Structures are given as C-alpha cells and as structure tokens.
A and B are shown apart, each in its own frame.
Chain A
C-alpha cells in the first residue's frame, strides 16, 4: 500500500524529467505509476476484507511524538476506492496520450496528474487523521495546478483559483475537525478513536460541523457547488479523472468514513440528507439548461454527488450499501461520458449541443459507448444505474415523503438531461459550423482506438453491473466490513417485483417523458428564470469585499507615521501581554529585607530615566542615559554578575562616544509637540507597559521547571576548562551563539560604515564617487597654468 501511494510521486518526477525526450508517450509511464494501486485489487479480492478479519496496516513513522505517522490501512472501502482511482487514473493517462496535442507541455501535465493520483490514494488509504488532512490539501493544490494547466486562458485561471479557494476553506475546516477529534478521541488514528469519548465530548458538534464543511466544499454540495462547473476548464482527461471519480468523491469518502463516528447524531443526517437532495435537484436542474456538453456533465456530477451524500448521510447500513453501489456505477458511467465528450470535442471541434446532430452516422462506436453510459446515468434498465437508483428510492422511502418528492423530481430532471445529451447522436447529420457559417473541421471520422478504448472499458463495466448485478454486489460487499453494512442482506437485482420503488420509477419516467416532450418550452422557461441567489455572485461579492476590506485595513494601519504605527503595535502587544498577566498568579515579596546597597542603584536608574524625559538638551540626555547605564552596571554587581557589570560599563562608554559622534551631524534636541490626544494615549501606553512589565516579572519569578544551570556549574571546569562559568558558557557551551553575535556586530559595523560614508553631504551616491586620487588629479589640473 505504501508503494501504491509512493510510486505515483516517484513516477511524477520521472515523467517530469523524461517529458522532453518522450513527449506524449510519457503517458504510458504515467499509467505505470498507477499499477501498484491496481494491484491492490489482489488483497481486495482476497480474504483480508471479510468481516472479523483485521485489515492490514502499514506504518511509516513521520513524527511519532505528535502522533503524525503514515498509517495506511487497507480495509475494504479504502482498497475499493484505491483500485477505482488506479483504474481511472491509468485509463485517463492512456487516453491523454491520444487526446492531447503534440505541443502540450507534457513536462507539467503528467507529473501533475500523477501527483494528484498519489495524493488521492494517500487520502483514501490513510488511517492517520493528520496525514489524511495533508493528503487532502495536496489534492487541492494539485487540482489547482491541473485546472489551471492552460493558464494562458483567463477562464482557466479563474476556475483554478475558485476551486482552490473553496476547497482550501474546507481544508481548514478539516484541520480543525481533525484536531478536535484527536483530542476528544485520544488518538490521531481513525481506527483507534475512542468513539464513546468522542460522542460524549463537548467538541462533538463543532467537529461534526467542520467535517461537513470540508466534505461539502470538496464534493461541491450546495452552496459550495460553484467551483465544479468552472473547473471544466481543465483538459478533458483531467475532468474525467478528477471530477468524476476521485477528487470530488473525497468529500463523499469523508462522509462515509466519518459516518461511523457521527452517524448516531440526528444533526448529521439532518444536515446531509436535505442538503444532498437539494444539491441533487439543483444540479440536475442546472444541467438541463446547459448547452455545453462538459458543463452539462459538470452539473450532472454535482447532482449525483448530492445523491451519494444523501445516501451516506442516512448513516444506516441500507443507505451505505446503496451509496457504495451507486459510487461504483457513477465512476464508471461519468468517466466514460467525459471521455466521450472529449472524443466529440476532439473530432468535431465543438461541444455545443445545438451545433451537433446525427453523430451516430459518423461516430458509430462512440455512439454505442455514449448510449450505454447515458442509459446508466439516466437510471434505465438494464444498466447498473437503474439498480442503484432503485436502491436509492428504497432508502428514501424510509426517510420521508418530502425527500421522496425531491428525489423523484431530481431523477426526472436527470433523465431529461440525459435525453438532451444523447440527442446529439440522432437526427440528420450536419457538419458543425462556427458562427461565421464555416465548417469547424473539414472531415469528421471515428476516433482512434487510443481514445475509444478507455470509455469503452468503462461503459462495459456499467453494462456488466446492470446485466450481472452480482458483480457490482460482490464489489460493494467488499466495503461492507469497513462501512458496517456487512450484516445488511440487500441484494442487487434487475427485477425485484412490483415494489413502491418501482412505482416511483415509473412515475419518474412519466415526468421525464413530459419534460422531454416539452423540452423547448422547458428550456425557454429555464433561460428566463433568474435565480435570486447565486453562489457565484456571492463568491464574487465576497472576494471583492475582502479586497476592499484589506485595502482599507492596510491603508488605515500601515504606512502611517512611525509613532502612530508604534502606538498600534504596542497597544496590540499590550493587550496580549495584559491577558497573560491577568491569567498568571502574582508573587509579591515584601520590601522589608532590602539591603542598603539597593538604594543608590534605584536612585541611579530612576534619575537617569526621569532626567532624559525632562531634559531639553541633547548632551544632557545622553549623559543621563549613561547614568542609567551605570546604574544598571551597579545593579549587575549587586546581582552577583561581575562580567556583566564590566561589559555594561564598556558598552556604555562606547555608546556615549557614538552618540556624540552622531551629534555632529544632527540638529538640536528640540521637543516636537505631540498633540493633546496623543500625549494622553502615550502616557497611558507607557504606564501600561511599565505596570505590565512589573507584573509579568513578578508572575515569572516562580520556577516553572527545574533549572538547567547545575549542569553548567558542574561541567564548566571538567568540559570547558574554565573557572568563570559565564565565560565558559559563552565560548564553549554556546560557542555558535557567540559566533553569531560576533557576526551581527561585524555586520552592524559594516552597515554603520557604509551609511556614514553615504552621509557625506553633497557627494554622488554611486561607484562614480570621486575617489581621493581623482580629487588629487583635479587639484593638479587646476594648478596648471
């Protein structure tokens, strides 16, 4: 399993390096990268996923102290999903070889695709929550790169940014949820969480809501569905991989896996099921309106994800079983359809439904594939989609009448847009024309095997799941132990007698027939119906608002005059420090036992400080500063630190000299008025800073942990060979620190030197500076008669 996650990353590097020499053929290498994931089918088919057997786990330590490890746990559901990713990833890689033009930058395309595949495999296989979050974010980043692959187009950039922002928002939610769960459950591994403790903890509801935020953003549920349609700017094979089978299902995976933790809560189903069904309805409604085939598929994906969410959200074995079945079906038919749309785009040069008709005459094989996949999407027998839709109805019948109504209407709309999609193959063939009435492509012919094989395989799978339901059931059962529906004895059948679900299906077909019959009117009605709420408008407004807000904030707080800037900074620091002081217990020691020697120290320190505040003369100010400096040197002596006192005296002398040097060039020590309000603020700030520091020191006098100094006292002579412990610490124990200090002083010296040289007034400020020699020459020239 570790290999399955690792190899795509390795192959990404290989593909990136070899892209120049291999060109489009590096796609075969990329497909190789998904082979270990395909090989996971072996344990999946084996006994390791049966009920009662422990799933195999592979552990790679990362930061064990923090509970950060790569734990890959191969339970049935993870393995099933990993194999699915492997299959679609390999097919997408092979398809791209035929699909992309020779001029595509393969040095980017395949590495991105593989990086994405690896992150996705890590995401589904990871049992460690922190690693799961890391992989989750990696899928966000890589999908950003893939959607923005053709970054010269502004739509691609926009779509990539939108997708990234929305899923990154969810990613932050997931991080918080993971933190809450691991604190509450006492482990960072999903399978080791103490479920009872999590359910009892007050963090349960926040963690639940944050998990849902992550799942909804990733799986494009209302109101976060806005990014999926614009993500269609990615190359079609990418759409087939990311937006049908993998990335968008990450949210569904999350809901499926965490459903075991949160499933018992009424809130969980109460949020997911309505939102999922609403998404299903809205997605299919919007899909019916689209004229671009890819956009139609995108909204269709939104709708199908809503259906999956609703099923997993039911959090009962029946729902999970139905959802897992439908997940398989959906992956098969949706990826196939994306591939088909890619073929149509590739061969005719357009994806607009109204420009295309009668394609079955020119693209007969594509037509067969498209027909199978579309029938499955529409939920018509004898395909897999029909079976899982029956299960969906069964599950919804238990949920309530309102849900049933939405489900039926959503399915009817689904049927209607499937009819729209398939209509491009019927009617008389016409050459697609561009707006100028010119044919887009001179001759239209059937696609080659490289383009046809991947969708044909997937469509074959969709047919197999329908004609021989036991195959789909066998696959879905593999996930039973992991998702706790192993005890559920539902079976997949094409004909299961006249049940309420079948009646609902008939009703659906009737509605859909009505929609198709009145297609033109429905379309007209849809186009003229403006939605009052648009996610996209909200997104734009939010971004614009953020822009405005940050500009104003920056303009209001940055680039001010230095004192004002400092006031803001100090006030913020004061608030934080004040909170710390408020929380800390104070330690007051009485003033009684003060040695007399402290009196001159106090006098010196305070006199210097007050004197500088009151002085009107710069020389006085510097001398008084020196007074405080000498005061602190005496204080060091009284604190039993002779070295410090010496250093302080030395530095004090040098500082005073430096000040005097600089005074040669500086103006008088005038006192500029601050203004009354600022004066008050400053006095307040200064007072708060002083009192805060005092309290902070008093609070920190307690020993928070045993001191480490005895070590130095014991080893100074043994290890450092010196009797002055402070010096030994500086030059032996912390030698590099002191070296760094010397470097700092040297750099300061350089900076001071160059600044002072710059500062000679009225001279050129570059290497064209007149050097002394030149000056001499000039003098010579002047002296010449």
Chain B
C-alpha cells in the first residue's frame, strides 16, 4: 500500500516538475498544482496507511492518525490560495509583457536591460512590451479628462 502510493506520488511529482520547467505560463501553474497533489498525499502516506477507522469518535476505534490529516487539510487550502495567486500573477504578467513565454520575461536583473523585454518593474512607466493600442487608449483618456476640466 505505502509502496504503491510512494510510486504514484513519485509520478505526480515528476510530472509536476516537468510542467514547472516548461515555457508556457499556464503549464508552470499546473506543474505547481501537481507537485502540491503529490506532497499532500505524501504527508498522509508517510504517517502510515492502516486499515482502521477514520478519526471520528462516533465510530469504533482504533483510529488512524488524525494529525497528518489536519496538516493536509490546511495544506489543501493554502495550495488553492497559491494557485489562485499564481494564476492572477500569470495573467497580469501576460498582460504587461504581451506574451506568455516565461523564458522571455525579463526583470531588473536581466543581463541586457535594453533587450526586448528588459523592462524595469516600475508601474509608472509603461512596459515596452505593452501593445501600442494601450498607449492610444491612454491618450484617449487624457483627452476625455481635458473635456472634464
């Protein structure tokens, strides 16, 4: 039983790692999700899998270990939070950079800050990646503001 699950978890983790290393941003998020699945199962497996009652005192004992279950319950929720945040960050990154290729995202540490995506993380300055249409929209807004005044 434990051995089987250990092998299954190994498969999940390796799939997760492979996805994590890919260039598409969505795959990266999915990769982390898979690693989280694996780890959650691993916590329970390590505690030992026994043919006993679930830890509900209404049933007859002996019971399985309740502690790892409590830990995993927290882990599931936190894992969901992580996924949600990552997804939105991924979305935002795509909107700012204009593409979803993780390998081409630059930052201040990029060896070539003048490269196509060597943007500085400064919200006040539009990224060179932002499609031209955006600038047009900004100009339109400014014009409307002028109308307001």
The 8 A CB mask of A582-601 against B (1 = contact, 0 = none) is: 00000011110111001001
Q: Could you tell me the distance in whole angstroms from the C-beta of A49 to the nearest C-beta in chain B?
A: 58
Q: Is the CB of A562 within 8 A of B10?
A: no
The 8 A CB mask of A760-785 against B (1 = contact, 0 = none) is: 01111100001000100110010000
CA distance A639 to B73 in the complex (A): 13
Which A residue's beta carbon lies closest to that of B65?
A709
Q: Is the CB of A725 within 8 A of B7?
A: no
Does A266 reach chain B (CB closer than 8 Å)? no
Q: Is the CB of A734 within 8 A of B137?
A: no
Does A729 reach chain B (CB closer than 8 Å)? yes
Q: Is the CB of A734 within 8 A of B70?
A: yes
Which A residue's beta carbon lies closest to that of B52?
A640
A562, A632, A640, A717 interface centre (most CB from chain B within 10 Å)? A640
Option from A640, A686, A758, A778 in Cβ contact (under 8 Å) with B15: A686
Give chain B residues whose Cβ lies under 8 Å from the Cβ of A713. 55, 57, 61, 63, 66
CA distance A692 to B30 in the complex (A): 21
Q: Could you tell me the distance in whole angstroms from the C-beta of A564 to the nearest C-beta in chain B?
A: 8
Which B residue's beta carbon lies closest to that of A587?
B2
Q: Could you tell me the distance in whole angstroms from the C-beta of A722 to the nearest C-beta in chain B?
A: 8
CA distance A622 to B29 in the complex (A): 11
Q: Is the CB of A593 within 8 A of B102?
A: no
CA distance A593 to B49 in the complex (A): 12
CA distance A761 to B127 in the complex (A): 13
Q: Is the CB of A690 within 8 A of B44?
A: no
Q: Is the CB of A690 within 8 A of B10?
A: yes
The 8 A CB mask of B86-121 against A (1 = contact, 0 = none) is: 011111101100011111110111110000000000
Given A655-B33, A707-B67, A730-B70 in contact, is the A693-B9 Cβ separation under 8 Å? yes
The 8 A CB mask of A249-275 against B (1 = contact, 0 = none) is: 000000000000000000000000000
B54, B55, B92 interface centre (most CB from chain A within 10 Å)? B55
The 8 A CB mask of A713-753 against B (1 = contact, 0 = none) is: 10011000001111001100010011001001100100110
Does A365 reach chain B (CB closer than 8 Å)? no
Q: Is the CB of B3 within 8 A of A698?
A: yes
Which A residue's beta carbon lies closest to that of B99?
A667
CA distance A564 to B5 in the complex (A): 30
Q: Could you tell me the distance in whole angstroms from the C-beta of A350 to the nearest C-beta in chain B?
A: 50
Q: How many A-B residue contacts, CB cutoff 8 Å?
A: 301
CA distance A641 to B50 in the complex (A): 12
Given A562-B102, A752-B84 in contact, is the A778-B76 Cβ separation under 8 Å? no
Interface residues of A in 627-648 (CB under 8 A from B): 628-629, 632, 635-636, 639-644, 647-648
Option from B5, B10, B147 in Cβ contact (under 8 Å) with A635: B5
Q: Is the CB of A609 within 8 A of B22?
A: no
Does A759 reach chain B (CB closer than 8 Å)? yes
The 8 A CB mask of B13-28 against A (1 = contact, 0 = none) is: 1111111111111111
Q: Is the CB of B148 within 8 A of A686?
A: no
Option from A563, A621, A686, A738 in Cβ contact (under 8 Å) with B102: A563
Interface size on B, residues (CB 8 A): 100
Which of under 10, 10 to 19, 20 to 34, or 35 or more describes the interface residues of A? 35 or more
CA distance A730 to B72 in the complex (A): 11
Give chain B residues whose Cβ lies under 8 Å from the Cβ of A774. 148
Q: Is the CB of B111 within 8 A of A559?
A: yes
Q: Which of A133-141, A187-195, A469-477, A669-677 contacts B (4 or more CB under 8 A)?
A: A669-677
Which A residue's beta carbon lies closest to that of B33?
A625
Give chain A residues whose Cβ lies under 8 Å from the Cβ of B69. 641, 643-644, 726
Q: Is the CB of A762 within 8 A of B133?
A: yes
Which B residue's beta carbon lies closest to that of A689?
B17
Q: Is the CB of A693 within 8 A of B92?
A: no
Q: Which of A155-163, A368-376, A438-446, A658-666 contacts B (4 or more CB under 8 A)?
A: A658-666
Q: Is the CB of A761 within 8 A of B95?
A: yes
Q: Is the CB of B42 within 8 A of A559?
A: no
Q: Is the CB of A778 within 8 A of B148?
A: yes
Option from A628, A642, A717, A738 in Cβ contact (under 8 Å) with B37: A628
CA distance A405 to B24 in the complex (A): 76
Q: Could you tell me the distance in whole angstroms from the C-beta of B60 to the nearest C-beta in chain A?
A: 13
A613, A629, A671 interface centre (most CB from chain B within 10 Å)? A613
Given A666-B100, A672-B24, A687-B14 in contact, is the A697-B34 Cβ separation under 8 Å? no
Q: Is the CB of B137 within 8 A of A640?
A: no
Does A507 reach chain B (CB closer than 8 Å)? no
Q: Is the CB of B17 within 8 A of A588?
A: no
Known: A724-B57, A741-B74. 16 other contacts (CB 8 A): A559-B109, A605-B8, A609-B11, A686-B17, A693-B42, A694-B10, A697-B5, A697-B6, A707-B47, A712-B66, A713-B57, A724-B55, A730-B70, A741-B78, A744-B78, A755-B88
Across chains A and B, which 10 residue pairs bring their CB atoms closest together, nearest first?
A559-B109, A690-B14, A762-B137, A694-B10, A672-B23, A609-B15, A686-B18, A690-B10, A725-B55, A561-B103
| 7 A-B residue pairs with CB within 8 Å | A641-B44, A644-B76, A670-B24, A689-B13, A690-B15, A693-B42, A729-B66
Binding site for A on B (CB under 8 A): 1-28, 30, 33-34, 37-38, 40-42, 44-49, 52-58, 61, 63-67, 69-70, 72-74, 76-85, 87-92, 94-95, 99-105, 107-111, 123, 133-134, 137-138, 141, 144-145, 147-148
